Amino acid sequence: MSTGPLEKLSSNKTFGGELTKYKFKSAALGGLIAKFNLFLPANAATGKVPLLVYLAGLECNEDTGAQKGGFIGPAAKEGIAILFPDTSPRGAGIPGEDDDWDFGTGAGFYLNATNPKFAHHYNMHTHVTLELPEVIQDAGLPIDLKRQSIFGHSMGGHGSLTLYLSSPSKQYRSASAFAPISNPINAPWGKKAFSGYLQQGVEEAKQKYDATELISKHKDPVHILVDYGTGDKFYQTGQLLPEIFLKAAREAGHDEVQVRVREQEGYDHSYYFISTFGEDHVHFHANFLKA
């Protein structure tokens, strides 16, 4: 099944640039309609611009980061595009996919499912890493795909770190995350997702979809920034485990220049936390995207 043509759903001028919502028939997601938002800064009118990919968390969609993250203003100043994908396929019609808020719809976990029940539709990994860049290129949008970085929140922070660390082609120059699920094979959210989506469950995830496992085996230098808040109830209840990720990074020889994990006193899991540090993350990526 091939990817269908892009259709523009809406367009909003913002910070001198343009945020456009598109839809297309997604081959990666089994022929379902996929939506995404793309912010192009004003300078995209005169040449290709680098791309920052934002992966949102559980229950979110392609609008959440665009509306609440506070990323677009800083990206406009830096002359960087931002791609906001959705968080899962929508409307696959698989029994049970809408029963829980942390599994199925809105909870794609940025993996490719191997459980036959989900394998036809739940392929957000391919959707984000291969299909969306292809769609953007085919549409002639002014993006320089050789300059990509990635960031995300919670489940999307997990996505950001794992897509960055597992890309053999080094697709992304840098990765950052707000309150990422940093060691999902040891966290309830991750165990549930992997058990459902993957034929071999957590064992299979260990090889491909766990940021802590990946950083511990990663030899090349990395550029990673993580922020989490001590007031985050999901941090407090062991869903995020950023210290485990940090420990693994240090043990693998990645120093504080390569991997910065910052504990932010009193901040929680919400976009009020994310927006506080959003500008900082955009600047972090700009260092590499504009190098």
The string over 199-224, giving b where at least 16 C-beta atoms fall within 10 Å of a residue's C-beta and e elsewhere, is eebbebbbebbbbbbbbbebeeebbb
Q: Judged by CB under 8 A, which stretch of 1-9, 144-152, 238-246, 268-276 contacts its own copies?
A: 268-276
CA atoms within 13 A on the CB side of 176: 25
| 12/137 with CB nearer its own copies | 12
* 280 in active site: no
Contact 135, 143 (CB under 8 A): no
- Among 154, 174, 176, 182, the one annotated catalytic: 154
Question: For residues 70 and 279, what is the distance between their CA atoms, to the nearest angstrom?
Answer: 7
Choosing from 16, 96, 221, 238, the residue that interacts with its own copies (CB under 8 A) is 16
Q: Judged by CB under 8 A, which stretch of 110-118, 197-205, 206-214, 273-281 contacts its own copies?
A: 273-281
Closest CA to 86 of 108, 114, 111, 117: 108
Contact 209, 162 (CB under 8 A): yes
Question: For residues 197 and 215, what is the distance between their CA atoms, to the nearest angstrom?
Answer: 23
* 100 in active site: no
Choosing from 231, 244, 252, 258, the residue that interacts with its own copies (CB under 8 A) is 231
Q: Is 22 in the site for its own copies (CB under 8 A)?
A: no
Beta carbon of residue 11, minimum distance to its own copies (angstroms, whole number): 9
Q: Is 12 in the site for its own copies (CB under 8 A)?
A: yes
- Among 121, 223, 269, 281, the one annotated catalytic: 269
Choosing from 31, 73, 188, 201, the residue that interacts with its own copies (CB under 8 A) is 73
* 232 in active site: yes
Q: Judged by CB under 8 A, which stretch of 49-57, 66-74, 157-165, 280-288 contacts its own copies?
A: 66-74
Question: For residues 33 and 55, what is the distance between their CA atoms, to the nearest angstrom?
Answer: 18
Q: Which residues are catalytic?
A: 154, 232, 269
